[in-house]
């Protein structure tokens, strides 16, 4: 009978065959079966170790201790049954008995030892034995607060992969569960730089075999099951990442309510959301990061909200990448002319490593010597948030050895206004150029879906006027608006923040980091278009969000974390921004990882 701690494990089994046999080998399969569904008497935990590592009892014990320290799946009970992975190099140093039990003098006082021959080629780590077969051991974690709407694993039998949903819902009142593999099964290589990295995605990424449910997006009610992965998912898989699920689209922003994915009817009967719910994919992504200590990174393509919400509500470092940072084929954003990949993590080092791997931008630690402090957005009405921002800027000033430069974008525009503006103020030009483009993008967000022609856009009452304005905007008007935005982007690059090669950005912009209602009425914010929420993504610039000294919605109380601000850099300076903040925090002896109440 297995000890109680193994109740939180799953046995990875194929639909029609085991992972391998101890003697004859086999092939990888990924159909998870909760261990509780199998007869406990037939399951034995075991650990595979390389035969060449078994030079002494002490060497074996040290190896098993490294397993325990570096893996959240491995437990001491796995070491009671050792299975040696015999390679061609170690076969000459071993001898096998008639019962296929390896006899090594150095292990004579240890527990039962078996072996796996060369052709099995299984990675070291924890496994389960059932009869003469061996299976991967996966850990089952509770899906806290229901942050994950879809939980799945991919099938790699015969070198192909298709995803299907897994249901680990326990009977009674226990929460849903998520299966994650041992980190020991995956080793990073040049070709697999993300091997073993655990990932969740929002619902706008096409994952073959997984239904994309857009009922939670107020712009549409479209569902489909993709036959192929998005290019971005293909890249993640090719790099070795482990995608464990899809996050909820609509989550409660009120700590008194459980986070949940709202099931909306096609007719929109239940679509009128209360104020405590936020239809923000980014919130579900960040909620996963805050809830799951075993999760490394989360990706979203959020537009109804923005990465801002990830940090101030959920304790997550979040990078809104430069526009066109990677292929968007197979991704269905709501504002296709502006949206890009957002990456969230509780660890700046992980965020940096993963960002430089999946984005097509240079990694650089040559930092700009100018900190722009826009008076268009500061000071903020909230004294606590303003103080936190001041503290963060002071950290940047000390690290870079420069003082901030106050700047008014509106005043700079008036002095260097491009001829295409025809005398308009920055606010007027920004609103004229972005309003129609955003509305057109939202209205036509899912035109490319296979079942688009069979669906009717549901126009909920509180946004009906928005849609009435959007549906009369023509494609030519959209192109004209995008041309105007391109003028704005080039003006910012020339006069405010310029792209370069060393450094990648000649300056950084400090931006407010809080709900829009706490930001003063200035040149941008009152327009509702070119405010802090849309500033960077309309200009196609990367923005890094860093949570600090804000009330944590998850902890149900006040919590001190690292910073309450964000910085913006030139297009392509994504990874440099992460390096800058990480090194600045280190220099101030502040943590570069976040620990939420649920971690």
Over residues 382-392, the mean pLDDT reads: 75
Cα(597)–Cα(126) distance, rounded to whole angstroms?
29
Nearest alpha carbon to residue 174 among 153, 152, 138, 144: 144
- Residue 270, exposed/middle/buried by CB under 10 A (0-12, 13-18, 19+)? exposed
CB distance 321 to 350 below 8 Å: no
Per the model's pLDDT, the better-predicted residue between 245 and 161 turns out to be 245
pLDDT at 252: 35
Over residues 353-364, the mean pLDDT reads: 90
Beta strands in 210-284 (DSSP E): 212-213, 223-224, 242-247, 251-252, 277-278
pLDDT at 446: 61
pLDDT at 333: 77
Distance separating the N- and C-terminal Cα atoms of the chain: 31
Q: What DSSP line would sit under 163-211, residue for residue? A: EEE---PPSTTPPPEEEEE-GGG----SS-TTTT-EEEE-TTB--TTS-
- Inform me whether the pLDDT recorded for 89 exceeds 50: no
Q: Which token pair is 374?
A: 């826009």
Q: What DSSP line would sit under 479-496, residue for residue? A: HHHHHHHHHHHHHHHHHT
Cα(459)–Cα(464) distance, rounded to whole angstroms?
6
Q: What is the pLDDT of residues 118-128, one digit of tens each?
A: 455 678 998 88
pLDDT at 509: 94
Instruction: Tally the C-alpha atoms within 13 A of residue 477's C-alpha that lie toward its C-beta.
Output: 15
Q: Give the model's confidence band at 130: pLDDT under 50 very low, under 70 low, under 90 confident, else very high.
A: confident
Over residues 542-560, the mean pLDDT reads: 57
Per the model's pLDDT, the better-predicted residue between 346 and 156 turns out to be 346
Over residues 257-265, the mean pLDDT reads: 34
Per the model's pLDDT, the better-predicted residue between 179 and 242 turns out to be 242
Q: Which token pair is 279?
A: 């239809």
Q: What is the pLDDT of residues 429-439, one digit of tens each?
A: 888 888 788 77
Domains of the chain: 4-138 (no CATH), 140-358 (3.90.1300.10), 371-587 (no CATH)
Lowest mean pLDDT among 143-157, 236-250, 267-281, 400-414: 267-281
Q: What is the pLDDT of residues 445-471, one digit of tens each?
A: 666 655 555 555 555 554 566 667 777
pLDDT at 402: 96
Q: What is the pLDDT of residues 479-489, one digit of tens each?
A: 888 999 999 99
Cα(470)–Cα(465) distance, rounded to whole angstroms?
9
Over residues 487-492, the mean pLDDT reads: 94
- Inform me whether the pLDDT recorded for 166 exceeds 70: no
Q: Which residues of 381-392 are buried (b: 16+ CB within 10 A; e: fewer)?
A: ebeebbebbebb
CB distance 578 to 367 below 8 Å: no
Q: Give the model's confidence band at 512: pLDDT under 50 very low, under 70 low, under 90 confident, else very high.
A: confident
Nearest alpha carbon to residue 303 among 203, 200, 427, 199: 203
Q: Find tokens 């010597």 and name the residue.
A: 369
Torsions phi, psi for 223 (to 5 deg): -130, 140
Cα(542)–Cα(469) distance, rounded to whole angstroms?
30
Other CB atoms within 10 A of residue 324 CB: 13
pLDDT at 527: 41
Over residues 150-156, the mean pLDDT reads: 61
pLDDT at 289: 82
- Ordered alpha helix ranges (H), 422-474: 426-443, 464-470
- Inform me whether the pLDDT recorded for 115 exceeds 60: no
Q: What three-state secondary structure class fits 417?
A: coil
Over residues 49-60, the mean pLDDT reads: 81
pLDDT at 202: 83
What average pLDDT does the chain have? 71
């Amino acid at each position: 009978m297995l000890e109680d701690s193994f109740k939180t494990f799953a046995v990875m089994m194929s639909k029609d065959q085991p992972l391998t046999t101890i003697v004859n080998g086999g092939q990888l399969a990924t159909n998870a079966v909760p261990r509780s569904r199998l007869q406990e008497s037939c399951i034995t935990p075991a650990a595979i170790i390389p035969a060449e590592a078994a030079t002494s009892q002490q060497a074996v014990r040290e190896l098993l201790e490294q397993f325990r320290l570096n893996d959240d799946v491995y437990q001491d009970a796995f070491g009671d049954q050792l299975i040696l992975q015999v390679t061609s190099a170690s076969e000459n140093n071993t001898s096998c008995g008639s019962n296929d039990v390896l006899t090594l003098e150095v292990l004579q006082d240890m527990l039962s030892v078996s072996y796996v021959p060369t052709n099995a080629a299984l990675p070291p780590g924890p496994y389960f034995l059932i009869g003469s077969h061996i299976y991967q051991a996966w850990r089952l974690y509770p899906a806290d607060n229901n942050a994950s709407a879809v939980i799945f694993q991919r099938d790699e039998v015969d070198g192909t992969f298709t995803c299907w949903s897994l249901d680990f819902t326990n009977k009674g009142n226990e929460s849903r569960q998520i299966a994650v593999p041992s980190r020991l099964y995956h080793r990073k290589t040049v070709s697999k730089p993300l091997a073993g990295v655990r990932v969740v995605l929002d619902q706008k990424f096409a994952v073959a075999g997984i239904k994309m449910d857009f009922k939670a997006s107020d712009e549409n009610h479209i569902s489909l099951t993709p036959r192929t992965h998005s290019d971005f998912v293909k890249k993640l898989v090719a790099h070795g990442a482990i995608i464990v699920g899809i996050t909820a689209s609509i989550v409660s922003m009120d700590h008194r309510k459980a986070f949940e994915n709202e099931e909306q009817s096609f007719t929109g009967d239940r679509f009128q959301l209360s104020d405590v719910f936020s239809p923000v994919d980014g919130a579900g992504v960040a909620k996963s990061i805050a809830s799951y200590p075993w999760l490394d990174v989360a990706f979203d393509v959020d537009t109804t909200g923005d990465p801002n919400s990830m940090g101030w509500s959920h304790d997550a470092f979040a990078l809104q990448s430069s526009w066109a940072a990677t292929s968007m084929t197979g991704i269905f954003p709501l504002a296709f002319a502006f949206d890009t990949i957002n990456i969230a993590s509780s660890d700046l080092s992980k965020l940096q490593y993963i960002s430089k791997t999946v984005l097509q931008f240079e990694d650089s630690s040559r930092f700009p010597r100018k900190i722009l402090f826009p008076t268009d957005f500061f000071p903020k009405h909230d004294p606590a948030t303003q103080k936190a921002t001041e503290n963060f800027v002071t950290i940047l000033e000390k690290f870079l050895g420069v003082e901030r430069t106050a700047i008014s974008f509106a005043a700079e525009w008036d002095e260097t206004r491009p001829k295409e503006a025809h005398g308009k103020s920055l606010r007027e030009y920004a609103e004229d150029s972005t309003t129609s483009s955003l509305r057109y993008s939202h209205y036509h967000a899912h035109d490319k879906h296979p079942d688009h022609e069979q669906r009717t856009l549901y126009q909920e009452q509180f946004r009906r006027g928005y849609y009435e304005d959007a549906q009369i905007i023509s494609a030519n008007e959209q192109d004209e608006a995008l041309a105007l935005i391109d003028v704005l982007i080039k003006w910012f690059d020339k006069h405010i923040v310029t792209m370069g090669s060393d450094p990648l950005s000649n300056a950084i912009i400090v931006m407010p980091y809080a709900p829009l209602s706490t930001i003063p009425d200035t040149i941008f914010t009152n327009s509702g278009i070119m405010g802090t929420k849309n500033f960077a993504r309309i200009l196609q610039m990367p923005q890094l969000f860093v949570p600090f000294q804000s009330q944590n919605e998850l902890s149900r109380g006040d919590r001190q974390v690292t910073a309450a601000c964000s910085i913006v850099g030139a297009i392509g300076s994504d990874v440099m921004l992460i390096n800058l903040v990480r090194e600045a925090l280190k220099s101030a002896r502040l943590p570069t990882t976040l620990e939420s109440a649920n971690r």
